[in-house]
Copies of this chain bind each other. A is one copy, B any other.
Amino acid sequence: MTQDDRSTGSRERILAAAAAMVAEDVTARLSVRAVAARAGVSTGSLRFHFPTQRALQEAVLARIYEHVFPDDPIRDRSLPARDRLVNCLRQVLAPAGVGKQAREAWGKAYEMFIAPEPTEQVRAAYLAMEREGWRRIEYWLTVLADEGALPREDHARRVRFLLTVLNGLSIERALPAEESILRSETETLYTAVDCVLNARTA
């Protein structure tokens, strides 16, 4: 509905329309007709720029992760703890890329850390990386624990769990997917985060 300059490229209008729809509702279906109508173009034009529905969804995902997560969102107390943590985890996930980019990233990871014998050097390089992710997540959890959003003890288990979920989501970005991963990714992140925040001493 926004009055984009009519001269703006159709491709751009389509992406903007789709991004707006997702912004309004992450579960939005992004059907050809809905997006095309919102962008003010024909379905044929949409198909010209995005040959397949999957191509469109990947482009939208990339667009969103590109310019919607600026700084460390953990301290933005205007949001509930769970939303902040999800946003932080998204930041971790962002560099994983989508589509071809994701596949190439995993290609590098495979050659560096999986294919070669795990010499001490290989191990050290990987563990350094992993430890950085670990520290980052642990930091976020301590911030939230200070606010009382989760228990203070036993962070190790929670961090390990979140890292595993992130690894799963990241590899799934490189694997073929059934449908828009945006929605399922969001749902999975919230499921994992709720799991961590609702921690009951079972």
Contacts and interface: CB of A to CB of B under 8 A. Distances in A.
A139 interface: no
A195 B158 CA distance: 12
Given A126-B175, A161-B187, 17 more contacts: A107-B114, A107-B115, A110-B110, A114-B175, A122-B176, A130-B175, A157-B187, A160-B187, A161-B188, A161-B192, A164-B188, A165-B168, A166-B168, A171-B171, A191-B195, A192-B195, A194-B202
Contacts of A101: none
Contacts of A184: 157, 160
A172 B167 contact: yes
A169 interface: yes
Interface residue SS majority, chain A? helix
A148 interface: no
A77 to B, nearest CB: 20
Interface residues of A, number: 40
Interface in A174-201: 174-176, 178, 184, 187-188, 191-192, 194-195, 198, 200
A116 B198 CA distance: 41
How many copies of this chain sit in the oligomeric assembly? 2
Interface of A: 103, 106-107, 110, 113-115, 118, 122-123, 126-127, 130, 157-158, 160-161, 163-169, 171-172, 174-176, 178, 184, 187-188, 191-192, 194-195, 198, 200, 202
B115 A103 contact: yes
Contacts of A168: 163-169, 171
A180 to B, nearest CB: 12
A77 B95 CA distance: 44
Contacts of A106: 110, 114
Nearest to A202: B194
B157 A164 contact: no
